[in-house]
Structure formats: structure tokens, C-alpha cells
Amino acid sequence: MNTPLPFDSVLRRRLVTATGAFLLASSVTQALAQTRRRATPSQTEGPYYPVAEPKDADYDLLRNGTLAYAKGLAAWVQGVVTDLDGKPLAGGTVEIWQCDEAGHYDHPRDGSRNDPAFQGFGRVLLNVAGEFRFRTIRPAAYTGRTPHIHAKIKVGNRELLTTQLYVQGDPGNARDGIWSRLAPEDRALVTAPFTPVADGVRAQYALAVGA
């Protein structure tokens, strides 16, 4: 048999329920605020985006056609691309392009003096989790620039972002006009450590784009 609850118990229950509802609402708001990503800053494309689709444009920049590239420090450059709510960018592609260890791009405006064994450009399709991975070298410096890798994110032919990726702790960063122009919170989004792994070094980037 139910006995009526004393008034103060009823009041306490109501307070507990109200507090619970408030906590639930604030934790939902907090969760939404946490998943809202800061957009990866856009940066100049520069003059060396390929003039024509390269014959070999896969994830492995250390192998161009039948040639293998053994210079520089072999690196995995990987990451995840999401929209601003943290949802993986389904169907998106990531393109990267960078200079060889001697600082030359596969581009006529750079004198076409690049090492033919270095692929210089690659494109991968994001997986369902929005992840990508390239095999390349830790980017090399060239006159006037700190080491960087150019990157473009597309869905189909629609370009969502053009940016550049940097090496955390490289002494050239602070002297680089393009890197140092970024706000500190934006630098953090495009600058990652290249940490030693069994087969070279590895860098991981989390990129977010307005889809």
C-alpha cells in the first residue's frame, strides 16, 4: 500500500528531478559545444599545384611509377577530416603536394629539376571514418619557406579547403611569413609533431571543413 509522502520528501524529489533535467540539458549543450570544431585555416595554394594530372598520384609518394625514392626521412602523414560538427567527411578526397628533399617541386615554374623518383603529389579517398594516410618524406625546407606540405580537400570537384601542414618544433616556423601570420590557435591545427616510428616518422592532423 502506498503511503502519502511527507511534504518535504515530495519537494526533495521534485528538486532532484529538476536538477537532473538541468544537468542533462547542460551536458547536452556541453557535448554540442565540444564537438563543434574550429575550421582548419585556409592558406595560399602557392605556385606549384600540378599543371596536369600526374601519371602516378596514389598515396605513396616514395614510389613514382617504377622508381623508388630513398632520400629524406620517410614519413607517414595521416589524419582525419570532419565537418565542423565532427562528422567524417564522407566521400571526400585529400590531395597533398610537396617538394623533394632537395627543395624542388614537380612543376615547370620550379625549373622541372625535381627528382623523378619522388612522386611530389598524391590523392586519397577518405574512408568512412574520414581518415587518410600518405607515405612520403618529412617535408624539406626551400629558400624562404619552412618545411610544409600543401593540402587540398575536395568532395568531387568541389574544393572545400586549401591549406598547408607544418612540422611542430621546426626552427624555421617562426621565421616563415605564411606560418607566423596564423593565429596561435590556427597554427595548432596545421602543425603536428613528426614522431619516430619503426619505419620512419609519423604525423597526425585533425582537419575540419565547412561542408
Which stretches of the chain bind Fe ion, using CB under 5 A? 46
**If phi over 0 gives left and psi between -120 and 50 gives alpha, with beta otherwise, what is residue 20?**
alpha
Closest approach of Cβ 139 to Fe ion, in Å? 9
**Of the two residues 46 and 172, which places its CB atom closer to Fe ion in the complex?**
46
Residue 46 or 200: which CB sits closer to Fe ion? 46
Record the cell numbers describing residue 143, joined without a space: 629558400
Q: Which is nearer to Fe ion, 135 or 150 (CB)?
A: 150
Are 38 and 207 spatial neighbours (Cβ–Cβ below 8 Å)? no
From the list 39, 82, 45, 60, the residue with the least C-alpha distance to 190 is 39
Nearest partner of 209 among 122, 73, 98, 93, judged by Cα = 93
- Would you state the cell numbers that stand for residue 130, as one nine-digit string? 574520414
Smallest distance, Å, CB 96 to Fe ion?
11
**Which residue has the CB atom at the shortest distance from Fe ion?**
46
The whole-angstrom separation of Cα 56 and Cα 166 is 24
Assigned C-alpha cell, 176: 616563415
Q: How far is the CB of 183 from Fe ion (least distance, A)?
A: 21
Minimum CB distance to Fe ion smaller for 41 or for 46? 46
Residue 145 CB, shortest distance to Fe ion, in Å, is 6
Within the chain, residue ranges assigned H as helices are 7-35, 177-180, 184-190
Coil, strand, or helix at residue 162? Answer: strand
Q: Which is nearer to Fe ion, 4 or 177 (CB)?
A: 177
- In the complex, what is the shortest distance from the CB of residue 177 to Fe ion, in angstroms, rounded to a whole number? 12
